[in-house]
Each structure stands twice: as C-alpha cells, then as structure tokens.
Amino acid sequence: MEHRDLALRVINVYKSFGDHLVLNGVSLEAYRGEVVAIVGPNGAGKTTLLRIIAGLENPDRGSIVLHGKALLVFQENLLLPWKRIRDNIALGLLYAGLPREEINRRINEASQLLGITRYLDKYPWQVSGGTARKAAIARILVLDPDILLLDEPLAGLDIETRRALLERIKMIAHERNKTIIVVDHSIEAVAEHADRMYILSHPPARIEAHIDLRETSPEKRLPLIYKALSSLKL
C-alpha cells in the first residue's frame, strides 16, 4: 500500500452565517507534497472552508486536523503599497525576530522560486497583477508553512500568467514537500496542475466528487473530470 504523510484532514465540517448554511458536512484530506484543488461555483463556501482550515473561522460542527502550520494567501493580494516588494515579503520574518541574513536568504530563495527577484525593489503599484500575486504568495511562503492555502490565486490573471503561476506552485509542492491547497471556481484552470481535485456542490456545499489525477496525463484530465461529473448529474 502506498505510504503518504497526511497533512490535513477536514472532518464533516458544517458552517452557517445566520440562517444561511454554507458548508454542509465537508470532509477531505490532503497529503504532503501535493497540490489539491478545491473547485466549486461562486458562493459555494470555498473561501469559508480555507478560512476554517487557516483558523480564521470556527466550524459550527466538525473538526480540522492539521499536521503542521497552515497559512492562507488571501484572494486579494493585500500588499502594503507603502513598502517595497522586498519589505512586504520580509514582514512576517521581521515579526518573528529572525536575523537579517536569514531574512535575506529566505526572501531570495522564495523570490527565485516564484520568479520575482528583479521586482524586489519595486513598490506594489509598480508591478503587474501577476507579480503582485506572486509577491503575496512569497510573503507567506518565506514563513515556511507546511500547508499553503491559496484562495483563488488565479483570479484576474491572464492565461499565460495563470499557467506559469500554477507550474511554480506545483514545483514548490513537489520539491519542497509542501501541501498546497488551491481553490478556484474553474475546473479547467486548475485541472492540469492539481494532483487531486475535490469538487464542491452548489451551496450549501458538500463534496460532490473527489478525483485523483496523479496518474492521469494532462490531456486526459478534463475528460476524466467531466465523466466523473456527468455520472453525478450535477
């Protein structure tokens, strides 16, 4: 039997806001070194699920088991426009009291991984949306989380930038043994790069399908997913 290290287990999570049930018994798992895509329609509770995993919201029922530190990259970049990209990325490291050499080493490593080294001395308003998104990811990545939660990281990016970003994300997961959870509303956008995919139903959200894509070649992934979905009569 294949051995994989469990990084995250979401067990039967329910969440309501007032009378509005958002998550209706969601369960899923994620392992170290893989990219897990959570896909669902707008308003399906994807962001709420990530916020619960990151500890920013409490579930009404159910539980989250984390093996390591989980940090969320918000859908909005939230880069501080009064600080250069380098200083934005350094923030969490400074608060942790790391020495300057270590801060610089981590910033250089993360910026090389994400391909933003030449933008480090620019301000956020001087760079493209794709670079700003990568900088927002780098700001969290330098804190060395075991589980990186990305809330719609592809929103507002063109197709080429999306592809490049997803390739970087996949590389980080596989080479650094990180668990990366990406939520998006588009199956097509993430199918090529995800190792596994959970598909949420229309709200209140449940897991409608769980598809393992690791052994499937990129060109066969979408047909496989659509076949799984049609069998569910979504």
Partner 1 sequence: MLFAAREGPGTILYNTGLTLLRSTLGFLIGFAAAIILGLVYTLNPVLREAVRALNTVLQSISVLIWIVVLVMVFGVLSPLPPVLVAALVSLPIVLAAVVAGLDTSSRKLAELATMLGASRLQYYRDFLLPSLAPSLAGATRSALGAALRISVVAEAFGSSGGIGYMIANYYNLAEPRGVFAWGVILVTVMILLDKLLLEPLEKRAARWSIET
Residues at the interface with partner 1 (CB under 8 A): 54, 56, 71-72, 74, 76-83, 91-92, 95-96, 123-125, 132, 139-140, 143
Residue 84 CB, nearest approach to partner 1 (Å): 13
Whichever of 1 and 95 has its CB closer to partner 1, that residue is 95
Whichever of 72 and 225 has its CB closer to partner 1, that residue is 72
Torsion of CA 50, 54, 58, 59, to 10 degrees: 40
Residue 26 CB, nearest approach to partner 1 (Å): 21
Residue 94 CB, nearest approach to partner 1 (Å): 9
- The Cα 77–Cα 52 span in angstroms is 19
Distances (CA, A) of 36 to 131, 178, 182, 185, 202: 23, 11, 6, 14, 19
At 192 the three-state DSSP class reads coil
- The Cα 78–Cα 113 span in angstroms is 20
Whichever of 13 and 135 has its CB closer to partner 1, that residue is 135
Whichever of 145 and 203 has its CB closer to partner 1, that residue is 145
Residue 82 CB, nearest approach to partner 1 (Å): 5
Q: Do residues 138 and 71 lie in contact, with contact meaning Cβ atoms separated by under 8 Å? A: no
